[in-house]
Amino acid sequence: MRFFNKIKVQTPESVELEFTLAGIGNRALALLVDYVIWGCILFVFLVVWGILASQLPRYIQSKNLELWLTAISMVIAFAMYVGYFVFFETLWQGQTPGKRYAKVRVIREDGQPAGLSQALLRSLLRPIDDFLSIGMLLIILGKREKRLGDWVAGTLVVQNDRPIVAATFQTSQQATPLATELLATAEISQLLPDDFAVIREYLQRRSLMETKARSELSLQLARQTRQIIGLQDLPFQMTPDLFLEAVYLAYQQQ
């Protein structure tokens, strides 16, 4: 395995993005932080469960009560284990508290954020990956640094880089004040680095596109971006290109 191994993926918009894979060190750090947090949650649950279980024999007389309570607690603990990773990776766009601390995140193989189904598959297979360090071996030996859960879910774990580079294209004068307005009215921070990269790639290549293709793609990107940053509608004076230019500038200024 090479340190800082890079990988290129193609988005649904036919834009090629380059990511730096997280690597075994960052992934181990993220998992350690997550296990410490999850362990604290589990400890609180077991204390509360133990208190409740100690009171049940007063109300329920059964020879198998202790066995049932143990089985139920194990099921709940496993659900909490799976639910921890599913909840955060879905809510935080591929990150858990540990991944956020280690500055890595989960994405799909097409560069899009991981969703509920990917997070669920990864979490259900995590115990197998952890058993005898199978996941670690797969990460170290594989070129794409994927554990079993990643292979099944079709995901990658990458560093959470911000691909901000100097623009090689001109932006209109109107885009600058509109960018300032977007910073105040929209949730620019919801844009992921690869969302920004797609917008940048379009703005760089638009002059080479045919008019119809450019119009369709700019409108599609503008609609997707509007939804991500939480805008209901575009101001009437904004064309899709002007809006994307303003978002591009706002992202760099945040």
Cα gap 176→204, rounded to integer Å: 17
User: How confident is the model at residue 163, as a pLDDT?
Assistant: 47
Backbone angles phi, psi at 243, to 5 degrees: -65, -45
pLDDT, tens only, 30-48: 999 999 999 999 999 999 9
16 DSSP β-pair partners: 10
Tell me the domain boundaries of the chain. Answer: 6-159, 175-253
More confident call, 139 vs 208 = 139
Structure token digits, residue 89:
């990776």
Please tell me the predicted confidence (pLDDT) of residue 15.
63
The stretches of 56-132 forming alpha helices (DSSP H) are 65-91, 97-102, 116-130
* DSSP 3-state of 227: helix
Predicted confidence (pLDDT) per residue in 72-111, tens digit: 989 999 999 999 999 999 998 889 999 999 999 998 888 7
pTM strictly above 0.75: no
- Of 104, 82, 80, the closest CA to residue 92 belongs to 104
CA-nearest of 79, 130, 102, 88 to 21 is 102
